[in-house]
Structure 1
Amino acid sequence: MSIFHPLQALDYCERQVKDKALGVYIHGMFLPPEIRPFFYSIHALRIELIESRESIMHSNLISTKQAWWLDNLDSIWNNCPAQEPVSIAISELKKYHTIRKSHFERLIKGIFEEPQMKNLRTFDRYIDNNYTMCCYLTLEILHYFGEAEFEAITYAGRSWGVMEMLLRSKYYAEQGRFYFPEDLLEKYKIPISISKENEENNTNELPEQFYDLILEIAAYGKMNLEKARENQHALPKYAYLAFLQLAQAEMFYKRLEKHNFNIFNAKTRKFSWMPLVWRMFKCAKKRVF
């Protein structure tokens, strides 16, 4: 069967998520089987977009690639997706679920456009465009469209997005860039262009106050997690299924604190199967997040 066959395209998306986003993959395991492949296709798109952008980071092709994906999105909505697996999978998703095209547009533009993060407000916008949109789409494939659900998932998406940004901090530091609010970088006197080559190299050490910055960013992520939980008992019975990624976020923030907010410590960034499965299982059993 060809990779361009819808079933093979959906399988491809699942494999991509399993290999590159363990927490998301485990989250999907707790979703109804008829929903699961489409959930993975949403996140496979996010992974594809991020990898595409990073591969042409210092190239004038970024705007061209963004335009290609936006044109492809129009084609998907016209039932003529590009002949590549992620596009075919998203086309299948559209056939069976009521989803908003605008969420995909924000995801594509958010990932390809160079962020302007002056403060927490613009940081939120960046997180929403790059991560929360996936959470919105998860709600929609679960057929939840209420204001209360979207308000809660906004906070959940920001908490998860902050975690993902912190997890990528080592990579970004090696590239000589950070995606943190500029006012916080100025507060802690951290140059935007500072980098850390590797964990053993002492010739390019980050200043001590960098970890104070990580503490403040992590506290903001944790605050969003707590806000997401505030009214969870007022949400529809099965809405918790869209929020299970918070189990990973909570584990991460606790582990980061345990290791003194040293985001470069491998122990803060590595997740194992069983603890994540067990934590999400307990949340799913109690129908909470």
Structure 2
Amino acid sequence: CMAKMRILLVFAACLSSGKGLGLRTHLNRQRTVLVSPRFAPQQPSSLSTSSSTSTSAGSQLLTKEQGKDALKYCENLVRRHENEQFLCAMLAPEGTYAVLITLRAFNIETASVRESTTNQTTGQIRLQWWRDALDRLYAGDETQDLLKQPVVAMLHILLRRYRLPKELFLDVISARERDLETTEAPQSITQLIDYSEKTQGSLLDLALHTLIVHDHDYTAAFEAARHCGRCIGLSTLLRATPFVAYRGLTYLPNDLLMDVGENVGTLLQALQDKKLTPPLKAVIHEVAKTALNELESASSLLKKCPRDVNKIMLPVLPHKHYLQTLNEYDYEICHPKVIEPSGFAPLSLRLHLRWAAWRGL
């Protein structure tokens, strides 16, 4: 009853705001922030001053239409592969929609390397291409052969406005490279946490850098981003577990499996048969509990942060619901209700996200 009342209140708030549930007006306004014609704000100090040289060598800044096309590509990519993230970006703080969409598109491009390549060498070449692209962007390279890749074009636009630490992008790529180099299960849950922080945590950290205002203390916000990133990463790996099992892979750590007297072989067979034993459920429970502990730590920190910071952290909400659903179904990770994309119907997810954006996580 209380849940229904909460949804009705959010629905009323949506209507009273004049925006309705489609968010179309808000979204169209957000889309135009970074893609104005020949956008050239003051260049961050993290970029090389050699950009004027590359421009004079025959390159030009992106036109308005090129910027729109690049953003549209990123939108379609995120909507197709991470629709929950797309819905979260629609409720982002004013001016950050394109930032979040671009960061998620970068994540998809690098995360998909392992699944879309047939051998490790090809995957390493593709990830090295992204390293080289970032090096060129941070060096001020604006040549058309680089910017014809839509995600790179959007990163180029972001880097001309925001001071985004290069090492955070490189952390994501390094984590993907380590993931590419092995088909074995992680050795420990600590390894899983580190991977989650280097990928999802780094992306949230980058998003937060677009909110930084001089003389404001964002210590709690960045700490919350690390905790949210760990939660999202661990939850994502759990959600992927039933699917990667058919390729002979698992993300459940070896140390937890050995603690309950199981091994990777029995785990993979149980996942393929969709018959988990109590010891295997205990392993899943331990990973889920760790993720929820990270979320709890983040929530306490976010209470000290401005509302815009909470909006940046909205992507953790569907993962919170997934972990709660997993608990509700006794850690049956292959249960149809558990492996649904988010456990939310599209309208329900939008309402929950709007409620969290207004009330906080």
Q: TM-score w.r.t. structure 2 length?
A: 0.73
Quick one: which of 153, 176, 189 aligns to 1:111?
A: 176
Residue 115 (structure 2) pairs with residue 43 (structure 1): no
Answer yes or no: is the 8 Å Cα contact 2:224–2:297 preserved in 1: yes
- Matched AA of 1:31: A
Q: Which position in structure 2 is the counterpart of 1:85?
A: 150
Over alpha carbons, which structure has the higher Rg? 2
CA distance in 1, matches of 2:326, 2:254: 22
Structure 1's consecutive aligned runs of 4 or more residues displaced over 6 angstroms after TM superposition are: none
Q: Which position in structure 2 is the counterpart of 1:278?
A: 351
CA distance in 2, matches of 1:188, 1:241: 39
Residue 199 (structure 2) pairs with residue 138 (structure 1): no
- Matched AA of 2:347: M
Identity of aligned residues (%): 20
Compare 237-246 and 37-46 and name the one that shifted more.
Answer: 237-246
Q: Which position in structure 1 is the counterpart of 2:191?
A: 122
Residue 319 (structure 2) pairs with residue 249 (structure 1): yes
Residue 247 (structure 2) pairs with residue 186 (structure 1): no
Residue 294 (structure 2) pairs with residue 224 (structure 1): yes
Residue 226 (structure 2) pairs with residue 154 (structure 1): yes
Answer yes or no: is the 8 Å Cα contact 1:10–1:38 preserved in 2: no
**Cα distance 1:57–1:230, how it changes in 2: closer, same or farther (>3 A)?**
farther
| CA offset digits 1:81-111 (Å, max 9, x no partner) | 3521111111111112121111100011111
**Offset of 1:158 from its aligned partner?**
0.8
Answer yes or no: is the 8 Å Cα contact 2:252–2:284 preserved in 1: no
| CA offset digits 1:17-67 (Å, max 9, x no partner) | 111112211110111352101210100111111112211264322222222
CA distance in 2, matches of 1:134, 1:70: 16
CA distance in 2, matches of 1:82, 1:96: 16
CA distance in 2, matches of 1:264, 1:122: 24
Compare 114-123 and 27-36 and name the one that shifted more.
Answer: 114-123
CA distance in 1, matches of 2:230, 2:317: 14
**Offset of 1:269 from its aligned partner?**
2.3
Q: Which position in structure 1 is the counterpart of 2:132?
A: 71
Alignment: residue pair count: 285
**Cα distance 1:260–1:266, how it changes in 2: closer, same or farther (>3 A)?**
same
Q: Which runs of 5+ in 1 are unaligned?
A: none
Backbone CA RMSD of aligned residues: 2.5
Compare 56-65 and 167-176 and name the one that shifted more.
Answer: 56-65
Answer yes or no: is the 8 Å Cα contact 1:174–1:196 preserved in 2: no
Quick one: which of 41, 45, 53 aligns to 2:114?
A: 53
Quick one: which of 165, 177, 182 aligns to 1:100?
A: 165
Q: TM-score w.r.t. structure 1 length?
A: 0.90
CA distance in 2, matches of 1:285, 1:232: 13
Answer yes or no: is the 8 Å Cα contact 1:247–1:276 preserved in 2: no
Answer yes or no: is the 8 Å Cα contact 2:85–2:315 preserved in 1: yes
SS in 2 for 1:266: coil
CA distance in 1, matches of 2:80, 2:91: 18
Answer yes or no: is the 8 Å Cα contact 1:56–1:62 preserved in 2: yes
Compare 274-283 and 58-67 and name the one that shifted more.
Answer: 58-67
Q: Which position in structure 1 is the counterpart of 2:56?
A: none
Q: Which position in structure 1 is the counterpart of 2:74?
A: 13
Quick one: which of 318, 328, 335 aligns to 1:265?
A: 335
